[in-house]
Amino acid sequence: MAAFQALRPLETGLDILYYGTIPNGAGLSSSASIELVTAVMLNELFRRGLDQLELVKMSQTVENKYVGVNCGIMDQFAVGMGKQDCAILLNCQTLEYRYLPLVLNDCSIVIANTNKKRGLANSAYNERRATCEAALAKLQSVRNIASLGELTSAELARYAHLLSPLEQKRARHAVTENERTLEAARALERGDLVRFGELMKQSHLSLRNDYEVTGVELDTLVEAAWSHEGTVGARMTGAGFGGCTVNIVKKACVQDFIERVGNAYAEKIGYEASFYVVEVGDGARELTGLEEMSR
């Protein structure tokens, strides 16, 4: 509301009823979802004529300025610019993007929620980002780069002496994750879901070992998923320290996956995880038809 007011005062007040099924504090972008649905609604009601990308940028500003989280734009972009049955390859520095086919064939996406609440603003998210920014500043003394993702692993190793041991670990995750992302995009383009799943595993290991944002709950879910024969890929999602994992599972194995992974989690952690079978849909928009609103 304040962001819209700053552009031009709203002509009237309004009452808003929010309803959603995204669990709060689970790392599934619930705050970005509220930001985008509010922005879309205000844009339509007050006929402001802002395009979707402008609403995405505004929502990120709200998260930074009013919520107090120094987040990037990825969550808001995914919520605002999502496209059914597609992944998005996004350069968060330039906002260049393209849609990639997400052909799951005989597989489903299963979200597993640790049910360990984590407040993003109070977690080590801002600390991780600050460490990466400190590493970037040092590397910019020898390379003309705007982000760590512009370096290759070999280049980072060449300049590792400029960084503290902790900065090396955090930067290594950022650089290798960017490399994995580009390879994952190529895998989706050629329909290689198996390779995509392998990259998901590598990503989680990097988040565990170099970025250190997983924790026993997320690791327990992911390791149980990796041991299940129906799993194509599994990794944590969100900022970590609790929250959720995302899993690609063969449809015929979904119920057994939920039961066995759930049992392994409850046995080790002492309370149950929650599971959601989801689909990839379009981004935040006004729903007009009864069929669309009932989905």
Q: Which residues are part of the catalytic machinery?
A: 75
Distance spanning both ends of the chain, measured CA to CA: 27
CA pair distance 191, 236, nearest whole angstrom: 22
**d(Cα 24, Cα 137) in Å, to the nearest integer?**
34
- CA 147 – CA 31 distance, rounded (Å): 25
- Bridge partners (DSSP) listed for residue 274: 113
- Measured CA to CA, the distance from residue 87 to residue 82 in angstroms comes to 8
- Residue type for position 66: Y
Q: How many Å apart are CA 95 and CA 83, to the nearest integer?
A: 16
- Non-local (6+) Cβ contacts of 109 within 8 A are 246, 247, 248, 249, 277, 278, 279, 280
CB 243 within 8 A of CB 204: no
What DSSP character marks residue 160? G
d(CA 246, CA 233) in angstroms, rounded, equals 8
Pairwise CA distance, residues 102 & 192, whole Å? 10
d(CA 261, CA 245): 12
Q: Tell me which H or E stretch contains 16.
A: none
